[in-house]
């Protein structure tokens, strides 16, 4: 029996996990980005999905083997497309910080998570999505959803203006105290791409629904039936991230970092020639692996709780993606303020980022209401 209140609680736990996952990476020392991102990714995309699905569901291998090639392909394909978004999501955090970066990227994710599937459906009728963009625009529910997308884009614009204001006002040294690689222009471009591609996760989960149904038929408790499909979705994401990180390891000659207790001078933190003189090139290898593992595991738990929440929402299932996006934005903004990412910026910049985040949260609520307009109207009439 569905319990929407429990579902909301699970979605907020997922948002807390996602909004917090980048925090442990701050404890990683003297590793290149591609090194710690891939180590964390092994836990996010391979270890945790298989471990928890094996522990909490019945006959996970049998369930996956009985799926059609089409189901497995689309679930994997959209997972791989999401992988590009997950990959650049980490870059967004590097260039914009947690509050602005997640706000902009997830704003795009909420908007395009609604728009991209029906646009694909328009030109590729066989993909597992319910409606085309034309069909959506003809209905009241669709028009409400599109209005939510417009509000979302407005929120992104306000948040971007806040970042532009911050960049203009603060001296370079002060900006990089809180965000070492702050770069507004790069960050906005990366966040845009990340948000668009990350939206593919929403319909990777939809494509994988037959896997959840088969898991339920195999005797798995309903609350855990989303876990087997995460194995396939995240395998797609792993493929993309693995290839890119290995290419960066080769390009930057940083592959030795996985095994070495010392870092080469050219990879050590520090400006110019001073690096060569830096006496401490010892790497806290064990701590780096632990922090990366913690970050990766924390990231996985966003969708662990998401799939649990989705099973409890009943006729309010339409609101799942909305709740997830809104809660991530809120918790990531909280971490941004805790880490003083906006310290030293003007009152105007603070008001703009607060207004942008509030607008993004509003947009996710409107998009969710539009996505479940029929259920929402029926529910209000029943009161």
Distance CA 313, CA 7 (A): 5
DSSP structure string for 58-109: S-HHHHHHTS-HHHHHHHHHHHHHHHHHHHHHHHHHHHH-HHHHHHHHHHHH
Residue 361 burial class via C-beta count within 10 angstroms: exposed 0-12, middle 13-18, buried 19 and up: buried
3-state DSSP assignment of residue 244: helix
Alpha carbon separation from 7 to 16, 306, 363, 372 (Å, rounded): 14, 9, 20, 16
* Sequence-distant (≥ 6) Cβ neighbours of residue 170 within 8 angstroms: 344, 345
φ, ψ of residue 100 to 5 degrees: the values are -70, -45
285 CB-side CA count, 13 A: 10
CA dihedral of 30, 35, 91, 77, whole degrees rounded to 10: -170
Q: What token pair was written down for 5?
A: 């209140």
pLDDT on residue 39: 96
pLDDT on residue 294: 96
Q: Quick one: which of 52, 14, 212 has its CA closest to 6? A: 14
CA 141 to chain centre: 26
pLDDT on residue 115: 61
pLDDT on residue 298: 93
Mean pLDDT by 10 residues, the chain (383 residues): 73 85 88 93 95 95 94 93 81 70 68 60 52 59 72 73 70 57 75 79 83 94 91 95 94 92 77 47 92 94 86 66 72 74 77 82 71 59 66
Distance CA 135, CA 121 (A): 10
Residue 40 burial class via C-beta count within 10 angstroms: exposed 0-12, middle 13-18, buried 19 and up: buried
Domain ranges in the chain?
4-265+279-374
46 close to 310: Cβ distance less than 8 angstroms:
no
79 close to 201: Cβ distance less than 8 angstroms:
yes
Largest CA distance in the chain: 74
* Sequence-distant (≥ 6) Cβ neighbours of residue 184 within 8 angstroms: 95, 96, 163, 164, 166, 167
pLDDT on residue 277: 47
pLDDT on residue 215: 95
Q: Does an H or E element contain 138, and which?
A: none
% helix / strand / coil in the chain, to the nearest 5? 80, 0, 20
Q: Quick one: which of 155, 152, 166, 98 has its CA closest to 328? A: 98
Distance CA 243, CA 53 (A): 25
pLDDT on residue 119: 57
pLDDT on residue 80: 93
Distance CA 304, CA 309 (A): 9
Alpha carbon separation from 377 to 123, 147, 316 (Å, rounded): 31, 17, 12
């Amino acid at each position: 029996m569905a319990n929407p209140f429990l579902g909301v609680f699970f979605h907020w736990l997922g948002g807390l996990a996602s909004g917090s996952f980048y925090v442990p990476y701050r404890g990683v020392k003297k590793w290149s980005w591609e090194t710690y991102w891939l180590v964390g990714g092994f836990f996010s995309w391979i270890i945790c999905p298989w471990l928890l699905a094996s522990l909490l569901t019945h006959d996970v291998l049998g369930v996956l083997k009985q799926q059609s090639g089409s189901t497995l392909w689309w679930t994997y394909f959209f997972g791989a497309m999401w992988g590009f978004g997950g990959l650049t999501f980490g870059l967004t955090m590097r260039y914009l910080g947690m509050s602005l970066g997640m706000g902009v990227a997830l704003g795009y994710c909420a908007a395009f998570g609604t728009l991209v599937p029906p646009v694909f459906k328009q030109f590729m009728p066989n993909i597992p999505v319910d409606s085309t963009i034309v069909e959506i625009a003809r209905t009241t529910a669709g028009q409400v959803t599109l209005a939510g997308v417009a509000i979302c884009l407005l929120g992104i614009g306000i948040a971007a203006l806040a970042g532009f204001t911050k960049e203009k006002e603060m001296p370079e040294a002060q900006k990089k105290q809180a965000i070492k690689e702050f770069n507004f222009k790069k960050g906005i471009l990366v966040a845009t791409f990340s948000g668009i591609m990350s939206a593919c996760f929403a319909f990777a989960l939809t494509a994988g629904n037959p896997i959840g149904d088969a898991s339920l038929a195999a005797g798995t408790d309903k609350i855990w039936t989303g876990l087997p499909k995460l194995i396939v979705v995240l395998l797609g994401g792993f493929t993309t991230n693995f290839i890119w990180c290995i290419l960066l390891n080769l390009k930057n000659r940083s592959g030795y970092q996985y095994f070495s207790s010392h870092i080469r001078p050219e990879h050590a933190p520090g400006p110019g020639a001073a690096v060569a003189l830096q006496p401490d090139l010892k790497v806290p290898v064990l701590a780096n692996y632990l922090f990366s593992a913690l970050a990766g595991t924390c990231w996985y738990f966003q969708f662990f709780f998401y799939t649990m929440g989705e099973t409890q929402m009943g006729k309010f299932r339409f609101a799942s993606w909305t709740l997830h996006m809104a809660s991530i934005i809120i918790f990531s903004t909280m971490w941004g303020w805790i880490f003083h990412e906006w310290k030293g910026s003007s009152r105007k910049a603070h008001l703009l980022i607060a207004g942008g985040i509030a607008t993004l949260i509003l947009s996710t609520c409107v998009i969710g209401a539009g996505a479940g307009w029929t259920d929402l109207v029926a529910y209000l009439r029943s009161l």
